[in-house]
Each structure stands twice: as structure tokens, then as C-alpha cells.
Amino acid sequence: MSQQRTAKSTSWAHDPACRPVGLETELGVLEPGNLYANPVALASRLVDAYAATSRPGLQGADGASAPAVRWDYETEDPLADQRGGHLDRAAAHPSLLTDDPTALAPSGDDPALITAPPTISSQGSHLETPSPTPDLADMPPDPWGSRPRPSAAEAALARATTAVLSNGARLYVDHAHPEYSSPEVLTPLNALIWDRAGEVVSRRAMAALSQQQDGVETVLYKNNVDGKGAAYGCHENYLVRRELPFAALAAALIPFLTTRPVIVGAGRVGLGQRSEQPGFQISQRADYVGCELGLQTTFNRPIVNTRDEPHADSTRWRRLHVINGDANMLEVPGYLKVATTNLLLWYLERAHQRGLGLGVLEGLHVQGDVVEQHWAMSHDTALVFTYNTERGPLTALQIQRLYLETISSAVQEDHGGLDAGHAGEQTSCALSLWAEVLDVLDQLAAAHQPGADPTARTSALAQAAPLVEWVAKLQLCEGLIARAGTGWDDPRVAALDLQWADLRLGRGVAERLNAAGYVRRLTTNAEIEQAADQPPHGTRAAIRGAAVAQFPQVVAASWASLVLDLPARADLLRLKLPQDVACTQAEADALLTAISRTVAAGETLTP
């Protein structure tokens, strides 16, 4: 499926598997041969190296290469809670203050590391939107505002290590890790494409740092744990209609998110947060989940995160910030992670509009400690563990099958069919893949039943491996163990787990499987390479990416704004981007034309 065909297919709003989505992936980083390398310093140098090359061919008025576009933090509010209210900054863990890049968070989860309440940042103050001056008559009045130009002393202060890219994405340092945040997209296929574009950006960043005069070799890993107690996230962000009650949203999400790893988990060698026990499990993040609901993201991690920062029209949308998913190297789970969640959100919004409540999903409430049951499910590669639901004991596969059947029935009722012509290309693909994955995993579960043919498990693993990442990794690890006559505590097995997610070209195990055709592909390499440089159609990311690539006057950006520096003006200019997130090519072109006219007028102004 090509990027262009997907972008121009039936309107995303009529395809249940589609909605505005963005993915964030923190990356493991190390310097080979240097056990004492500082990961924060490595991450900062790596991002800075790529930032210096992030606007190729673009020059400023002085003829020098245009500097990297920095992040505009002023519109961020990470302490708003979906349950209502707003967490006081003085009571917030420093890791939550993502709107203040000067407030560095402790690297661990121990509250004792917090020695004093964080100071309140001056960022985020209200900025009035001025009327256009006669010299800027072409500037549209509504989206333009201003912000004070920083003083020489403010400009000399240390800044966050970050760059906004020409594909509309963001590359930055988050705590001790480089992090790639994809641009906003409207389809699960584009979510996959622009997420995988982050792998291309990562390889370019490694090369950029190594080629510097004092550069070092670094290795980036698209995984979530270091096996020694540290976990770093792969976060999903979905816009959800505000009128859907949060209680209903959370009630449906908890059984869904705690069983979703069975189809999209990346697999992990080691049991427990510090790999206290040898073995293999389904999910990388499961052992690091500690509660059902919460605003926090780096300690006592919740199944359902309650941050409510939509970066969109907050009267219409809330943001669902999913933090317990795995970073995927294979494409089918990377696609299904987004597509199945989109479909569930569509179903919940539909059910609420019709006064149906949770309907069939009501009985999936997990009784007892759902967190401990989530851990147990992840540790059970035989797929026999059962959750204690109100309907009785159900396996993760059975629960996922109930979600699939419930959503499929609703799509059939509303659209008259499940094929692409009726339900939409993405919904048809997602439902088909979801069913196919559950079918092959049912075969794997059956192979573990008493009396099963001894060869059935080998056959089931081979059937599931091209579609399910944790199965593919398990199959390779078991092969190494059999050849070496060793066990799960062999360091070579842990090394294979790490090498699975190695982002160096030709070095990562998963990357080699993708290249060799051993696993199911949904994209092409050409699409992924193109997405590393160009933004997706259909969202405001197209405006952000094009502005970064074309206008050296753009000096900062966020999901919802661009900041321009026109030297003839006393203040910087801020342009609000569309609050609906989705925008047509005509709307994007009109705003880019307005930027071009404003730049031309602003450059001729006298101070």
C-alpha cells in the first residue's frame, strides 16, 4: 500500500480504524567498548549532530546553514488530568514537567531523589494576539500572535537538546534517552510508516555523530528495557472525543491494554524488572506497570495514563496517552498496535452516542489485582493463563477475540460489510489481520494442551512468527539455546534480545528478517526512506514539515504552533496551526503561502 494511495483514499473520518495519532519512541543508547559512557551526554551529542544536518540546503540571510528548529514549549500543559483538575506543579514529580526543559528529572524512580519542589517556569504565559500592522497586510489576523524576543542573557542559557524535522517529527533528549516523536497521522498504516522513519533518522544520527571530528560511535536500540531495571517508553497518542466519559474509556481500556501484548508484544528475555529470573516473556513493558490509573509515566506506571494534553481543540478532544506498549521492529504488530486501539475508540464513541454504554464489553472487567494478572499473562508463552473476569476465567486470546467480534459486529451493522468497499481500506485490513493473528496464536495455544502432537508447537511457531514479534524472537532464542545446549540464563541469549532491536543497518536481527522477507511486510523501504524527509499528507504536520524545510525564519515549533524570527520586527511571531489536526492539502498550501507573504513583508520592515 503506497503512502499516496492511502492518503487519498476514502476520508479517514469514515474509516473506523482511522483517527489522529502520533507515536513517541525512546531509544536505548550506548557507546561500544565504553561501559562508563554517560547516556545523557551521548544522547545530547547524537541529537545535536543530527540537528546540524536537519535542514539540508537551507541557508539563512547570512548565507550560513539554517540552524535547527527548536521546540516551542509555551503551549504545553502536561499536568492536566482526564479525571478532572490540574496537578499543582509543586507537587509534581520532576519527570512530569515536560513543559520545562530546565527541570531535569531523576534517572530513577525513588521519590527520595526529589530534594526540593521544582520552581515554576515562566514559560506558558498568555500571549495576546495583536492586530496585523499595515506593513503586514497579507498576514491572516486570527492565527498570528507574538512573543517577546529573548534577551542576550536568556539566549545564552542552556537549551533543551531538540530539533523539529522536515518530516514534521521531533528528535530530542528525554531524560537519558534520544526520543523520536512521529508527526501526526490519520491512518494506522501511516503511523507505521512514520514510526519506522524514525529508524532511518536514528541511523543518520549515528552516522552524523561518528563523522564529526571528535565524534564517537554510538548504537541506538529500538527496545524498552536494559534488562537491569531501567525501562524507557514507546508511547501512543490518540485523540478521543471529549463527550466519551473517562470512566467508560478506562473501563474498556484496562482489559484491552493488558491483553493486547499477546498480539503486539515485542518479547523479552528475562522475568522481573531486573531480570531476576531467567526466562522469556511476551511484553517488554508489562513488568514495569504498577497501577491501573495515574498521571505519572516514569514510576508506578499505570495501565491507563490520565494525562489530558490534546494539542488540539480541547473542547472536542481529549488525549489518550498509552504508555504500556512495546516498541515494535516488525510491521504487523506495529500496525495492529494502532489499528486495534483506533477501532476500540471508534466503538466506544459510537456506543456512547447511542446510549449503549459498554455493551458486550461490560463483562470483561477484571476482578482482583489486574496488574499482577497482567504480569502473569506476559510470563506465560504457552498462552494458558486466564484473567479473572466478571464473565469467568478468560485467556488473553479469548478477551482479544471478544473485542474483535464486538467491533466487527458494529462495523458490519454501520457499514454493511467488512470489506474495503464498505468499511474502508484500513478497517478491512485491520480486522482481517487481527483475526489472522488470533487464529495462528490459537494454534500455538492448542499445541500446549495435554495430548497435543509433539510437532504441533514447532509448526505453530513457524506459522505465527511472520506476524507476531514476540513469537519470532522466541523462536530464534530457542534455536540458539538448542544449538548451544544452554539455558535462558546464558548471556548470549540476552545479547540476541538486544541485537534484535539494533538500529545499525545490517546489524539488527529484526531488520535482517524484514529485509530477507521472513516476516510480513506492509510497507516498502522506499516509503520509509521518503517519510524520513517528508511529512504525511492530511494533517498539520504537512505545514510544520514544509515550513521547517523551506523557511529559515522558522526558529521554533510545536505540535500546535510555529515561531518565526523576522529581524526587522521587535518581537518574534507565533503562528497557530490548525486545531483540528486534520487539514487538506489546499488548507496547508494556503497557510504556507501566508507564511511566505509574511516572511517577504517582515524582511522589508524597518525596526
Active site residues: 174
Strands 561-564 and 554-557: antiparallel
Question: Cβ(377)–Cβ(400) under 8 Å?
Answer: no
Identify residue 583 by its one-letter amino acid code: C
Q: What are phi and psi of 113, to 5 degrees?
A: -70, -15
Phi and psi at 150, nearest 5°, equal -65, 145
Give the Cα separation of 304 and 307 in Å (integer). 9
Residue type for 268, please? R
Integer Cα distance of 194 and 548 in angstroms? 17
**Is 25 within 8 Å of 173 (Cβ atoms)?**
no
Q: How many distinct helices (H) and strands (E) make up the chain? A: 18, 19
All residues at 6 or more sequence positions from 474 whose CB lies less than 8 Å from its CB, including other chains: 267, 280, 381, 461
| Cα gap 486→489, rounded to integer Å | 8
The pair phi, psi for residue 576, each rounded to 5°, is: -75, 130
Residues pairing with 479 in the sheet:
none
DSSP-assigned beta bridge partners for residue 558 = none
Please tell me the distance from the alpha carbon of residue 383 to that of residue 467, in angstroms, as a whole number: 16
Residue holding cell 495492529? 336
DSSP per-residue string spanning 437-487: HHHHHHHHHHHTSTT--TTHHHHHHHHHTTT-HHHHHHHHHHHHHHHHT--
- Measured between alpha carbons, how far is 458 from 11 in angstroms, rounded to an integer? 43
Cβ atoms 530, 542 nearer than 8 A? no
* Cα–Cα nearest to 23, from 385, 294, 339: 339
